[in-house]
A = this chain, B = another copy of it.
Amino acid sequence: MSHKKHHSTTPLSQLLRLPPGKVRLAEHDTSATPGFPGKGKADAAKFTAAILPELSDLQERLYASSQADPENAPKVLIVLQGMDTAGKGGVIRHSIGLVDPQGVQIRAFKVPTAEERAHHFLWRIRKALPTPGMIGIFDRSHYEDVLVVRVDGLFPESEWSRRYAEINEFEAELAANGTHLIKCMLNVSYGAQHDRLAARLDDPTKHWKFSIDDLDSRAKWPAYAEAYEAALTLCNSETAPWHIVPADHKWYRNWAVAELLREKLESLQLGWPPASYDISEQKRRLAELS
């Protein structure tokens, strides 16, 4: 590593961490680039690549810890939320794509199936949690059950209003159980969403990414913003805080999530598992098999 470490100043996880209290999304600049060590887009690739060696090393330690202690190794879970086009898929491709795919478990939550709807809303979530030593990625999550559900009135208020407390309990249980959460709200502006949807409609190689549902949701932007503000305000605990990632600049968003992951892995202070065998004896056996 360079002697000028890129994380020598305030950790990004502190810079992006949502402070407790009532959230107003309008107060969060969607085109800001807090903590980015370079000048801008032109050197984003360089600074993202600079994270890679340490990220690879830390991810391998996490994975190795599960080989040595399959029951008790830590787990990491990145929760990605954001309006359409905020870049959940882009983050997975570009930031999570930096990591060995053998150490990653990705789950996208779509409209619930009939079976999923027949269960408690956390049932499908619990089934998708990362296993020891793994980095889980939730592309959407249990938060949809207080977002689209609230906006579209899929359940009565008496039902969804209870869920904030249930989510807090659930996330506290995850933390107690060795699952380290990184909750990221990819915060994109109404204007940037327009430009990204227009780009999808203009480019034949992107037509498949566009859905008429995207415009239905866009028409409900104020209701979604209100639902996000409620979720961010009510489910922002010490053990499972939110990070607001400004997402109008894709290069910043991708760098930031990679750096948040690196910081979290570093905080676990993972060593390498010791040998579970007699090294000298195995060297002798290997020599006999030369």
Contact = CB atoms under 8 A, between A and B. Distances in A.
Interface of A: 64, 67-68, 89, 92-93, 96-97, 100-102, 104, 106, 108, 139, 194, 197-198, 201, 204-205, 207-212, 215, 218-219, 272-275, 277, 279, 282-283, 285-286, 289-290
B92 A97 contact: no
A197 B275 CA distance: 14
A80 to B, nearest CB: 12
Contacts of A275: 207-208, 210
A289 B97 contact: no
A215 B282 contact: yes
A184 B253 CA distance: 37
A269 to B, nearest CB: 15
The copy count of this chain in the complex is 2
Contact of A289 (B108, B201, B215, B274): B215
A272 B68 CA distance: 45
A208 B272 contact: yes
Most chain B CB within 10 A, of A101, A197, A210, A215, is at A101
B201 A282 contact: yes
Contacts of A279: 201, 207
Contact of A101 (B97, B272, B283): B97
5 contacts: A89-B102, A93-B101, A198-B283, A201-B283, A215-B286
A19 B282 CA distance: 39
A58 to B, nearest CB: 12
B290 A194 contact: yes
Nearest to A290: B194
Nearest to A88: B102
A20 to B, nearest CB: 33
Contacts of A97: 97, 100-101
Given A89-B102, A92-B100, A201-B279, A289 B208 contact: no
B102 A106 contact: yes
B273 A207 contact: yes
A55 to B, nearest CB: 12
A218 to B, nearest CB: 5
Contacts of A197: 286
Contacts of A282: 201, 210, 212, 215
Nearest to A207: B275
A267 to B, nearest CB: 20
Contacts of A283: 198, 201
A274 B207 contact: yes
A56 to B, nearest CB: 9
Contacts of A205: 272
A198 B290 CA distance: 10
Contacts of A194: 286, 289-290
